[in-house]
Amino acid sequence: MYSPEEFDEAKTKVLKYIIYKRRTENEVKIKFQNCIEENMLQDIIEYLKQTNYINDEEYIQKATNNFKILKNLSLTELKYKLLGKGLDISLIENYFYTNKEELIEYEIKSAMNIIIKKKKDMDELQIKNFLLKKGYKNDNINIAFERSNN
C-alpha cells in the first residue's frame, strides 16, 4: 500500500501532465506506467475520472471538433486518429453513431475541399481513387463532386 502523501505527490505529477494538454486514460497509463506503482496509478486515474479531469467521451468530442476545424479527413482517418490515442473502440463507435449526420456532412465538405485543391492537377477518376484510398465513402465522394460542380 502507499501513504496519502505518496498518493498526493503522484496525483500532482499526473495532474500537471493532464492540465498541460487534455489526455486520454490510456495516454496517462502509458506515460506513468514505469514511474508510479500500478495500483496507485489506477487509483489516481479513477480519482481523476470521478473529478472529470479524465473523460474519454469528452476527449473524443473535443478532438473530433479540433480535427474538423484543422484538417480534411475521411471518417475512417478520423477514427484511426482517435484509436491511435488509445481510446476504446466502443466509445468511438458510439460517438460516430450519435453524431452520424454531422460527421457525414463533415466528410462531404472535406472531400469537396480536396476535390477543389486537386482539380487543377488530376482528373475526376484520379481524385476519386485518391479519396477512396483515404477512406472516404463512395456515396460521400459522389455528393462532394456534385456539389463542387455546381
Give the pLDDT of residue 106: 97
All cell numbers assigned to 84: 491511435
Looking at the structure, tell me whether residues 29 and 72 fall in a common domain: no
What letter represents residue 117's amino acid?
K
Looking at the structure, tell me whether residues 46 and 67 fall in a common domain: no
Give the pLDDT of residue 149: 84
The low-confidence residues of the chain, meaning pLDDT below 50, are none
Domain that holds residue 114: 57-149
What letter represents residue 8's amino acid?
D
Give the pLDDT of residue 49: 97
Give the pLDDT of residue 29: 96
CATH of the domain at 22: 1.10.10
Give the pLDDT of residue 1: 83
Tell me the pTM: 0.87
Burial category of 44 from C-beta neighbours within 10 Å (exposed 0-12, middle 13-18, buried 19 and up)? buried
